[in-house]
Amino acid sequence: MRQDADTVRAFRGLEHGDASVRLRAAMAVGTAPDPRFVDKLIERCATEPEFYVRDMLTWALTRHPAPTTVPKLIDELGSERAQARSQALHTLSKVGDRRAWPAITRELLTDADDEVARSAWRAAVVLVPEGEGPELAAVLASQLGRGERAMRQSLSRALIALGEVILPVLRAAQDGPEPRVRTHAIATERLLRDPDTDFENAVEEAKRIVALGATGQEE
């Protein structure tokens, strides 16, 4: 396809060495959506080093019609580049088109890369169809205890977004053999019951419960 001067200028802007120029270029593309930009926006998402520019690239993609962007974003989920998978998942969560749900696989939800997994969790709870929450909760619960504070907090938030359907898997995890998993499960139930509770406070309370050999289950 022949590119006009405006398209060439936009493409060059998205690849410029100055992040502020790339940011303005992404904003301009989102302000005047054109299907010719979609492939380039997705390509840049996979390599862009600056978070705030990636966020603008995602915004620009959401400004294009979902039937144009969603299939291409789904294709990115099979990329060997972790950032490509992570950013595609993030963008799918912002688009919110549930036709993307089948592409949110167990492999992505348990991806070895933390950012990919976190993005998959967020996308999954946005896109999950009615009735499939319990199955998703079971997969998410398999990740309890994973990573450092930010990672565990992200998982708790994703689980809580599913609502009461998470209780059976949380209760099962609270009876498990791993103290770290039990702690995370108890803290997550506390947060479900009282959304105003601070995550750190919930974790500290859960640690005390585990140390005493009790469970966090409420009758």
Number of domains observed in the structure of the chain: 1
pTM over 0.85: yes
Report in angstroms the alpha-carbon separations of 184 from 51, 90, 165: 28, 24, 17
CB count in 10 Å sphere of residue 81 = 12
Its domain, for residue 199, covers 128-219
Provide mean pLDDT across the span 87-103.
98
Q: How far apart are CA 39 and CA 111, in angstroms?
A: 25
Percentage of the chain modeled with pLDDT above 90: 91
Question: Mind listing the pLDDT tens digit for each residue in 44-91?
Answer: 999 999 999 999 999 999 999 999 999 999 999 999 999 999 999 999
**Confidence at residue 70, expressed as pLDDT on a 0 to 100 scale:** 98
CB atoms within 10 A of CB 116: 25
- The answer to whether the beta carbons of residues 85 and 108 sit under 8 Å apart is yes
pLDDT digits (tens, 9 = 90+) for 192-206: 999 999 999 999 999
DSSP string, 169-208: HHHHHHTSS-HHHHHHHHHHHHHHH-TTS-HHHHHHHHHH
Domain presence at residue 180? yes
Identify whether 117 is part of a domain. Answer: no
Q: Please state, in angstroms and rounded to a whole number, the distance separating the CA atoms of residues 91 and 171.
A: 32
Both tokens of 52, joined, read: 């705030």
Q: Identify whether the C-beta of residue 29 lies closer than 8 Å to the C-beta of residue 37.
A: yes
> Max CA-CA distance within the chain?
70
Q: What is the pLDDT of residue 217?
A: 57
pLDDT at residue 18 is higher than 50: yes
The verdict on residue 76 lying in a domain is no
Strand ranges in the chain using DSSP code E only, listed in sequence order: none
CB distance 117 to 143 below 8 Å: yes
- Distance from C-alpha of 83 to C-alpha of 62, rounded to nearest angstrom: 18
Q: Has residue 184 been placed in a domain?
A: yes
- Asked whether residue 213 is assigned to any structural domain, the reply reads yes
Residue 212 in any domain: the answer is yes
The confidence score (pLDDT) of residue 87 equals 98
User: Taking all residues of the chain, what is their mean pLDDT, rounded to a whole number?
Assistant: 94
Please report whether residue 146 resides in a domain: yes
| Residue 72: inside a domain | no
